[in-house]
A and B are shown apart, each in its own frame.
Chain A
């Protein structure tokens, strides 16, 4: 039977929902599912992880070296824990992408990136070419499966469980060559872009950081997360952590609004899994309309205020 270990992602004492999505993938693979929490004090996060349905055990590994999410510290420890497991999983977030390949290389195994679906315990599908092709990848028998899970393809596991929590001591040798300095975070007060059920995004057509306020206002009214195209980020209207697309965040909200976004393939990659896509653009030939479920040709500076009024 498979035995799976999931690398938990967390910050400020909160388990990231990406972890619950990895659990769904692990349950689909089938077997004994464990979660590893690395931190300086992880009891609260471990308790949240223990509530996820399908998890049989949470490993809580506390050490001052795990205070910050550094791959150089966590990968050796994860690799040391991996013996006895058939699968090592992490979300395909920036964090998972940073840590897991480092652990896989230490273990001498290749990694499967971005699992979309599970054929069997060793065979998966994943996107390549920015989602323009889907491939089947299989891992040979008797080799550890190291994989990241494409979170937009998976629903979060339900809560209501109470798995055992085991305290473990750090056992690996950790380097001193990598030092955390700081996290610069704009930290908006709206819902998290990656988990919000409604997301409102703006593109270059907004024209300025000031005009982007229109997007924030509408999002507030819709209780939505706020995203942006690469063009809007590059133009400096919004910070990088709002970028939706191949090199930003890949999201799957129930409802997605694209205002003034032309629909470059790199952006479309990030929103393909959205339930309903609404596009508003002045240019009737914009590629975004090929993808949109509901399209409206027009000037966003008129349409957004009208829409806000209609929502009152």
Chain B
């Protein structure tokens, strides 16, 4: 069984992003870029499936300019067998991404497709669900546990009321949440080995027409700031302050 993992190149989660003064976006010049952390968890899960003998090939895929090859190489160093870059110079909105991914899924015929539940840049939380819809296959979002058995998977999902357990037929799309696993660190020899692994480039318009990128993104602004707070010295001070604000 093949496992396809979609990863996105994003501003590293430790970077505190700043909106450009002209409102055209956030500053990304010289900023550290990484694999979207939820996608990294997805890749780790795929590698564990292969190591457990449940998958024989892990393919890591990213859409973007050649810059995203850096993240694909990291994915190969983590242990993916090969990589595919969907070449495009435009950021893809989720529906466009899902259409391109579907075309690739039809070519590669994976048993499981894994991706993060959301990207930490646009915070959309849509692409996995859209891919599952277009593909006409099950989705299990926010996975905290995945158990494969034959042609089905039992997925435990993080939902607002607790944990929801689903049985889904494969092939299926599973999106990953934080507590599914802790991704491995990449070792230096693996980075060297990764350089020799195959990385194919396919053009976006070879997979899908560009239709779908139709939301217009306007002005960017920093979030409203909260007013400056005060410090109190002790519990009595806290209680007095809360009472004076009518909160107790």
A80 to chain B, nearest CB (A): 13
Q: Which B residues contact A (CB, under 8 angstroms)?
A: 11, 16-19, 26, 93-95, 98, 117, 120-127, 129-134, 136-139, 141-142, 144, 154, 156, 158-169, 172, 177-179, 212-223, 226-227, 229-239, 241-242, 245, 247-248
Q: List CB contacts (< 8 Å) of A110-144 with chain B.
A: 110-114, 123, 127-140, 143
If A102-B133, A136-B217 touch, whether A289 touches B162 (CB-CB below 8 Å) is no
CB–CB A296/B232 < 8 A: yes
Cβ 8 A contact of A177, one of B122, B138, B215, B247: B138
Q: Using Cβ atoms and an 8 Å threshold, which residues of chain A touch B16? A: 132, 265
Q: Using Cβ atoms and an 8 Å threshold, which residues of chain B touch A295? A: 229-232
If A134-B222, A183-B161, A296-B232 touch, whether A102 touches B129 (CB-CB below 8 Å) is yes
CB–CB A101/B133 < 8 A: yes
Most buried by B among A128, A129, A234: A129
Cβ 8 A contact of A255, one of B233, B239, B247: B247
Q: Determine whether A291 belongs to the interface, using a CB cutoff of 8 Å to chain B.
A: yes
Q: Is the interface of A mostly helix, strand, loop or mixed?
A: mixed
CB–CB B220/A135 < 8 A: yes
- Docked Cα-Cα span, A6 to B53, in Å, equals 44
Q: Determine whether A179 belongs to the interface, using a CB cutoff of 8 Å to chain B.
A: yes
Q: Determine whether A72 belongs to the interface, using a CB cutoff of 8 Å to chain B.
A: yes
If A97-B141, A101-B125 touch, whether A140 touches B216 (CB-CB below 8 Å) is yes
Q: Determine whether A71 belongs to the interface, using a CB cutoff of 8 Å to chain B.
A: yes
Q: Determine whether A239 belongs to the interface, using a CB cutoff of 8 Å to chain B.
A: yes
B129 to chain A, nearest CB (A): 4
| Proximity string of chain A (89-122) to chain B, C-beta cutoff 8 Å, 1 when within and 0 when not | 0000111011011111110111111100000000
A243 to chain B, nearest CB (A): 9
Cβ 8 A contact of B238, one of A114, A180, A307: A307
Q: Using Cβ atoms and an 8 Å threshold, which residues of chain A touch B134? A: 105
A144 to chain B, nearest CB (A): 11
- Docked Cα-Cα span, A104 to B93, in Å, equals 13
| Proximity string of chain A (286-312) to chain B, C-beta cutoff 8 Å, 1 when within and 0 when not | 000101111111100001001100110
If A95-B160, A128-B123, A240-B144 touch, whether A294 touches B168 (CB-CB below 8 Å) is no
Q: List CB contacts (< 8 Å) of A160-192 with chain B.
A: 175, 177-187
B219's closest neighbor in chain A, by CB?
Answer: A136
CB–CB B142/A94 < 8 A: yes
Q: Using Cβ atoms and an 8 Å threshold, which residues of chain B touch A136? A: 217-219
CB–CB A112/B232 < 8 A: no
A194 to chain B, nearest CB (A): 7
Cβ 8 A contact of B159, one of A95, A127, A255: A95
Q: Determine whether A241 belongs to the interface, using a CB cutoff of 8 Å to chain B.
A: yes
A266's closest neighbor in chain B, by CB?
Answer: B13
B232's closest neighbor in chain A, by CB?
Answer: A296
B168 to chain A, nearest CB (A): 5
CB–CB B95/A104 < 8 A: yes
- Docked Cα-Cα span, A194 to B159, in Å, equals 13
CB–CB A110/B123 < 8 A: no
- Docked Cα-Cα span, A94 to B237, in Å, equals 39
If A101-B129, A133-B17 touch, whether A291 touches B229 (CB-CB below 8 Å) is yes
Q: Using Cβ atoms and an 8 Å threshold, which residues of chain A touch B229? A: 277, 289, 291-295
B32 to chain A, nearest CB (A): 14
CB–CB B163/A137 < 8 A: no
Q: Using Cβ atoms and an 8 Å threshold, which residues of chain A touch B136? A: 175
CB–CB B160/A113 < 8 A: no
CB–CB B241/A294 < 8 A: yes
If A105-B95, A111-B94, A295-B230 touch, whether A93 touches B138 (CB-CB below 8 Å) is no
If A133-B223, A143-B214, A254-B247 touch, whether A113 touches B178 (CB-CB below 8 Å) is no
Q: Determine whether A75 belongs to the interface, using a CB cutoff of 8 Å to chain B.
A: yes
- Docked Cα-Cα span, A1 to B99, in Å, equals 31
B132 to chain A, nearest CB (A): 6
- Docked Cα-Cα span, A292 to B228, in Å, equals 8
If A95-B160, A254-B247 touch, whether A134 touches B125 (CB-CB below 8 Å) is no
Q: Using Cβ atoms and an 8 Å threshold, which residues of chain B touch A110? A: 93-95, 212-215
If A113-B126, A177-B169, A184-B162 touch, whether A230 touches B226 (CB-CB below 8 Å) is no
CB–CB B165/A182 < 8 A: yes
- Docked Cα-Cα span, A104 to B98, in Å, equals 12
CB–CB B139/A102 < 8 A: yes
If A94-B160, A102-B132, A129-B123 touch, whether A289 touches B168 (CB-CB below 8 Å) is no
Q: Determine whether A67 belongs to the interface, using a CB cutoff of 8 Å to chain B.
A: no
- Docked Cα-Cα span, A174 to B151, in Å, equals 20
Q: Determine whether A247 belongs to the interface, using a CB cutoff of 8 Å to chain B.
A: yes
- Docked Cα-Cα span, A158 to B131, in Å, equals 37
B145 to chain A, nearest CB (A): 11
